[in-house]
Every structure is written in C-alpha cells, then in structure tokens.
Amino acid sequence: MIALEQVEKNYGKKQALKGVNLIIPPGKIIGLVGENGSGKSTLLKIIAGLTTPSSGTIQVNGIKATRSIASKVAYMPDADVFYPIFSVEKLFRFYETQFEDFNYSKACIVAQYLNIPLEAKLKTLSKGNRGRAKMAATLGREASYYLLDEPFSGFDPLVREDIIKGMIQFTDPETQTVLMSTHEIKEAEPLLDAIILLNHGKILAYEEVETIRDQFRMDSITWMTKLIKEGDLSGNETYR
C-alpha cells in the first residue's frame, strides 16, 4: 500500500502539492489526471523517492519513500533518459545491473510483443518505438508498483494501443499496482480501475471508473471537466 499524509511540495514560491492525503491499495490500475501544472509529475516523483516533500510523509509498504524505495517501485519518466548508443538489449542488460527485480527474459518477451528488435540502437528508433522500448524495460521489472509518467504522450493511436495491451498482459492485477499520469483519458479509461483528479496541487476526487460511469452516468472526461469547473471540493480528507 502507498500512503501519503499531508504531503506538500514547494519549488521556491510555487506550491506544487498542497496537503495531499492519499491511500493507494495494491492490485489496481489508477489514472492520475488533471490539467498541466496540477502536480501529477511531482506526485509520482515523490512516491518514487526521486524528490523529497517539503512536508508530510510518504510510505510504500510501510517504508519511507526515499531513493532506496526504487527496489519496490518501477518509475518510468516522460522524458527519454536512455543512452542513445545503447541497443535495446544493452538497455535491458543495464537495467539488470541496476534492479534486483529486473527479469531480462520477461523484458525480451515484452519487446517481442511490442515489435521492438533487441539489436536496434535507441538513437535509430522513432519516438514511438523508443516509447515501446522504455515500456518493455519498465515492465521487465517485477515491482510491486509501476509509476508511469505520461506513457502515451506524443504517440500515435497504434502505439498507445500496443502499450495499453502490454500493461494488461504483463502486469499482475492481483499483486501489482499501476499509477500513471495521462492526458489521454479517453484511450486509457477502459484500462483503469479508478481515477485520481488533481487540480492546483490538490486532490479534487478519487473515484472508481465504474462509479463514474454507472452512478454519475458520465464518461471520465465529462466528470473531470465538471469537477474542475466546480472548483476545489477536497478539504483535508484522506482519499483511498
């Protein structure tokens, strides 16, 4: 379980997160949505232990989230951060040296599923194929939590569809949790169990997709737009 209590993050005078209380259970695929600047990437980085909160606490399976939490969490950034001279195979071998939970054979299977040749150099791949390679490297880890920052950003619909299918096929819905920020809500919605809506660093809502559809009788985009227009309704409650 991931638990955040009164988490705030400031960058100088800018407050990126404001009093975030959140509990994320295992075995869920959760979308993290909101407008640009709402705090999505900051929240993922804090959970991954890549940056420290200005105040508040974050725990992953009862352990304080610091850089050492990388053994439990597989974080995939939005940006390309790989060495361009690496081949896909060398990228996987590099991951193998960095993460004890990395399964080289599984990464190769994911790469084959996503039609990425192991011998291809990253610098020769299109952005879409680099995205596939990045996803294969991430899903090659047998982590409890996958934190994905805009995994569909800038990709054509075919690439998005492949990545979505890969996430379904190569994660265990009983034991592993996927938390991903995305602007591609329409494409991601069939994949998601729940949605967390951030606005100006606060959580406006955390709702099951089934509830949004069946009780509120809205699609996720309509629901999100309605809540943002209504303003901050969150208070200081804990979302779970």
Count of positions (residues) in the chain = 240
Percentage of the chain beyond pLDDT 70 is 96
Whether the pLDDT of residue 234 is over 50: the answer is no
Residue 235 falls within a domain, yes or no? no
Buried residues in 43-58 as b, exposed as e (16+ CB within 10 A)? bbbbbbbbbebeebeb
Residue 240 falls within a domain, yes or no? no
Burial of 217 (0-12, 13-18, 19+ CB in 10 A): exposed
Q: Look up the domain containing 78 and give its range.
A: 2-230
Residue 238 falls within a domain, yes or no? no
Residue 236 falls within a domain, yes or no? no
Provide the number of structural domains found in the chain.
1
**CATH number for the domain including 101?**
3.40.50.300
Residue 17 falls within a domain, yes or no? yes
Using DSSP's 3-state secondary structure scheme, residue 225 falls into helix
Angle between helix 88-98 and helix 104-113 axes, rounded to 10 deg: 150
Residue 239 falls within a domain, yes or no? no
CA distance 108 to 136: 8
Alpha carbon 4 to its chain centroid, in Å, reads 16
- Sequential DSSP letters for 68-86: GGGGTEEEE-SS--S-TT-
Whether the pLDDT of residue 155 is over 80: the answer is no
- DSSP strand E in 43-161: where? 55-60, 63-64, 73-76, 145-149
Residue 237 falls within a domain, yes or no? no
pLDDT band at 127 (very low <50, low <70, confident <90, very high): confident
Each residue's pLDDT tens digit, 73-117: 999 998 777 788 999 999 999 999 999 999 999 999 999 999 999
In the prediction, which pLDDT does 232 show? 54
pLDDT band at 174 (very low <50, low <70, confident <90, very high): confident
Whether the pLDDT of residue 43 is over 60: the answer is yes
